Amino acid sequence: SAVISQKPSRDICQRGTSLTIQCQVDSQVTMMFWYRQQPGQSLTLIATANQGSEATYESGFVIDKFPISRPNLTFSTLTVSNMSPEDSSIYLCSVVAGNYYEQYFGPGTRLTVT
Amino acid sequence: AQSVAQPEDQVNVAEGNPLTVKCTYSVSGNPYLFWYVQYPNRGLQFLLKYITGDNLVKGSYGFEAEFNKSQTSFHLKKPSALVSDSALYFCAVRDRTNAGKSTFGDGTTLTVKP
C-alpha cells in the first residue's frame, strides 16, 4: 500500500491566480496520477505523471493550464494556472502500488475559485 | 480501449439486507478489476481486486465481488448491509496488457437505511 499526503487540504483563491498542490508519497512509486472530482461525482483524469518523463495529459487538459512536476519517485506538484470559477473542484493525487496496479489516493485538495 | 459501466447511480437498501452494486466492463484482453469506496468527506480507498483464480474475491469490511467473464461483470456484494456502508463506490478496470492507467466507472451511491 501507499500513504499519500496532499497540501493544501483546501484553499479559496481569486480568479486569475495560480495554486500549486503538492503530493507526497511514503514510498517510491513510478506511476502517479492527478484527478479532478466534483463532490459526490465521478473522477476525471487530468494527467499521468511518471518520474523521468513528461506528464501525459488527457483530452481537454493542457500543460499550460495544469503544469505538473515530478522531480523524484515520492513527490509531485500540480499547478492550476489562471484560475476561473470553473476550476473549483477537488483535486486528487493517486499512485499505483502493490503487485497488481491497485491505486491509492490522497485525501484531496478542495479548491474554490471566487 | 477499456471502459466501465455502473448502471445504477443510486442503490438503496435496508440495514441487514444483502446489497449488490453492479459493474460491467469492456477490455480487449484479460482484465484486472477493482472496487474503490469513498466515504463522505473522505478520500478514495481501495476495497478489493480481481486478478486471477477464484471468481469470488473478498475484500475489506466484509465486501466481496464476483467476476463473471461471460457476462463481463464484476458486481460488488455484501450479505448484510450496515448503515456505515453508505458511501460512493467506484468500479475500475485495467487491461493486463495496458501499461497505463485504470478506467473508472461513474460511481454508485449506496445508501443503507436503518
* pLDDT tens-digit map of B8-53: 999 999 999 999 999 999 988 888 999 999 998 788 999 999 988 8
Question: Using the beta-carbon criterion (under 8 Å), do A92 and B88 form an inter-chain contact?
Answer: no
Instruction: Select from A54, A86, A57 the least CA-distant residue to A70.
Output: A54
Instruction: Look up cell 487530468; give the residue.
Output: A46
Q: Where are the beta strands (DSSP E) in B7-107?
A: 10-14, 19-21, 24-26, 31-38, 44-50, 56-58, 64-68, 73-78, 87-95, 103-104
Instruction: Select from B41, B73, B109, B69 the least CA-distant residue to A39.
Output: B41
Q: The C-alpha cell of B39 is what?
A: 466515504
pLDDT digits (tens, 9 = 90+) for A47-66: 999 888 889 999 999 999 99
pLDDT value at residue A111: 97
User: Which has the minimum average pLDDT: B2-6, B29-33, B56-60?
Assistant: B29-33
pLDDT value at residue B98: 64
DSSP at B90: E
Report d(CA A49, CA A57) in Å as an integer.
Answer: 9
Instruction: Select from B31, B69, B36 the least CA-distant residue to B50.
Output: B31
Report d(CA A65, CA A18) in Å as an integer.
Answer: 9
All residues of chain B having their beta carbon less than 8 Å from the beta carbon of residue A1 are 46
Instruction: Look up cell 484531496; give the residue.
Output: A108
Beta B87-95 vs B108-113: how paired, if at all?
Answer: antiparallel
pLDDT value at residue B53: 87
pLDDT value at residue A67: 96
Q: What is the percentage of chain B residues whose pLDDT exceeds 90?
A: 78
Q: Please give the residue that has the higher pLDDT: either A42 or B15.
A: B15
Cross-chain CB nearest to A45 (options B46, B101, B105): B101
Q: The C-alpha cell of A48 is what?
A: 499521468
All residues of chain A having their beta carbon less than 8 Å from the beta carbon of residue B57 are none
pLDDT value at residue B100: 66
pLDDT value at residue A52: 80
Q: Please give the residue that has the higher pLDDT: either A1 or A38.
A: A38
- Dihedral sign, CA of A76, A80, A86, A89? positive
Question: Using the beta-carbon criterion (under 8 Å), do B46 and A102 form an inter-chain contact?
Answer: yes
Q: For residue A111, which phi and psi values (nearest 5 degrees)? A: -110, 130
Mean pLDDT of chain B: 93
Q: For chains A and B, what is the number of CB pairs under 8 angstroms? A: 45
Cis before residue A8, ω within 30 degrees of 0?
A: yes
All residues of chain A having their beta carbon less than 8 Å from the beta carbon of residue B34 are 102-103
Distance between first and last Cα of chain A: 37
Question: Using the beta-carbon criterion (under 8 Å), do A103 and B92 form an inter-chain contact?
Answer: yes
pLDDT digits (tens, 9 = 90+) for A84-110: 999 999 999 999 887 767 899 999 999
